[in-house]
């Protein structure tokens, strides 16, 4: 029997998956962590949530709701590093499929757009690839928001298309910003590089990397197709030791004013009608089954 999927139920958006283990979380927990929180609160709440999860080496993909919770990946990656004993000399490759870099500044703690910056500081991480970015976050107007130190140190590589990144070349970061003319060219180059490196890999998937006609999310979306995702996962075959999935679609009204303001400024949409939500979540459920089946062929034998 293969690895079984896990649902960390943050927002009631993940439909039942065959053979799943499900950990449900309270509404108070969700409000505290969703979108972002102080680091002290994050550590406390995440420890509470992950206490009921299966052993890292036994669990399959972990589904955790909307991309508003993508910063939970930091704790899951740390858990994977600890369980497998990854270190500076024997590091874990982190591959992130995302329409956004998630390496942005957030001085008040951690949020869904800043977790990669924290992951880059972990000694057990060999390198981080963020693949599929089409977001304007990579444009010159947002240059100051990035944690550039991780890029200069060669810890992170962005794979992007449709964004003007000439500013990065001017400051010596052309190797860290892999720019392509099309999604097809991007995926082909990524497949070639990933398949040639057999480093143990953790795959974090934010479904906003996909085109809206593939699956709908709460955020602005990229251009990736299903078959391109399949090719990327195939390139990781035999190296995958952990994976998580965000990007479900759900509705939510933040109690905290700063979350309402920042999420709106970032372009988040949590106001789908009941009919739209039902249709889009059904689409999500079918796609989740595809993700589970596709990842099944990529897990490394422990």
Q: Provide CB contacts within 8 A for 92, sequence distance 6+.
A: 77, 80, 81, 84, 86, 124, 125, 126, 199, 200, 201, 202, 241
- Looking at the domain assignment, is residue 302 inside a domain? no
Structural domain of 152: 4-296
pLDDT of residue 34: 86
Identify whether the C-beta of residue 214 lies closer than 8 Å to the C-beta of residue 249.
no
- Looking at the domain assignment, is residue 301 inside a domain? no
- Looking at the domain assignment, is residue 214 inside a domain? yes
**What's the token pair of residue 183?**
């999604």
pLDDT of residue 214: 96
Count of structural domains, the chain: 1
Sheet with strand 156-161: strands edge to edge: 21-24, 4-9, 59-63, 240-246, 201-206, 92-97, 125-133, 156-161, 177-180
pLDDT of residue 283: 94
pLDDT of residue 267: 59
pLDDT of residue 93: 98
- Looking at the domain assignment, is residue 241 inside a domain? yes
* Alpha carbons 165 and 179: distance in angstroms, whole number: 8
* Alpha carbons 287 and 43: distance in angstroms, whole number: 31
Q: Which of 6-15, 76-85, 218-227, 262-271 has the lowest mean pLDDT?
A: 262-271
DSSP assignment of 75-120:
HHHHHHHHHHT--SSSPEEEEEE-SS---B--TTSEETTTHHHHHT
* Alpha carbons 163 and 134: distance in angstroms, whole number: 6
Beta bridge partners of 159: 131, 178
pLDDT in tens, 131-157: 999 999 999 999 999 999 999 999 999
CATH number at residue 118: 3.40.800.10
* Alpha carbons 230 and 245: distance in angstroms, whole number: 15
Is the pLDDT confidence value at 1 over 60? no
Q: To 10 degrees, what angle do helices 226-235 and 183-195 make?
A: 20
Q: To 10 degrees, what angle do helices 226-235 and 274-296 make?
A: 30
How many CB atoms sit inside 10 A of residue 191's CB? 17
- Looking at the domain assignment, is residue 64 inside a domain? yes
Distance of CA 1 to the CA centre of its chain: 26
- Looking at the domain assignment, is residue 93 inside a domain? yes
pLDDT in tens, 153-191: 999 999 999 999 999 999 999 999 999 999 999 999 999
Q: What is the pTM of this model?
A: 0.94
- Backbone dihedral region for residue 211 (phi beyond 0: left; psi -120 to 50: alpha; all else: beta): beta
Q: Which of 27-41, 93-107, 134-148, 271-285 has the lowest mean pLDDT?
A: 271-285
């Amino acid at each position: 029997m293969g690895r079984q999927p896990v649902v960390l139920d943050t927002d009631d958006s993940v439909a039942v998956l065959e053979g799943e283990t499900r950990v449900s979380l309270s509404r108070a927990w969700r409000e505290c962590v969703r979108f972002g929180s102080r680091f002290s609160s994050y550590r406390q709440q995440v420890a509470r949530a992950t206490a009921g999860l299966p052993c890292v080496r036994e669990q399959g993909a972990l589904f955790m709701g909307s991309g508003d919770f993508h910063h939970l990946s930091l704790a899951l990656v740390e858990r994977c590093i600890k369980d497998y004993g990854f270190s500076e000399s024997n590091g874990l490759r982190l591959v992130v499929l995302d329409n956004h870099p998630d390496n942005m500044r957030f001085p008040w703690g951690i949020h869904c757009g800043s977790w990669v910056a924290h992951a880059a500081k972990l000694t057990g991480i060999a390198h981080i690839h963020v693949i599929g970015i089409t977001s304007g976050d990579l444009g010159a107007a947002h240059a100051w928001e990035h944690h550039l130190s991780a890029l200069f140190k060669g810890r992170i590589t962005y794979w992007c298309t449709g964004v003007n990144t000439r500013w990065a070349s001017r400051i010596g970061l052309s190797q860290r910003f892999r720019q392509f003319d099309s999604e097809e060219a991007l995926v082909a180059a990524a497949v070639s590089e990933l398949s040639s490196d057999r480093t143990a890999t953790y795959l974090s998937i934010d479904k906003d990397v996909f085109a809206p006609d593939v699956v709908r999310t709460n955020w602005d979306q990229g251009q990736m197709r299903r078959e391109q995702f399949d090719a990327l996962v195939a390139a990781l075959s035999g190296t995958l030791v952990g994976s998580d999935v965000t990007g479900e679609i759900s509705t939510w009204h933040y109690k905290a004013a700063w979350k309402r303001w920042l999420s709106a400024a970032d372009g988040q949409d949590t106001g789908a009608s009941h009919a739209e939500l039902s249709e889009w979540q059904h689409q999500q459920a079918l796609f989740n089954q595809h993700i589970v089946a596709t990842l099944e062929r990529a897990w490394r034998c422990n």
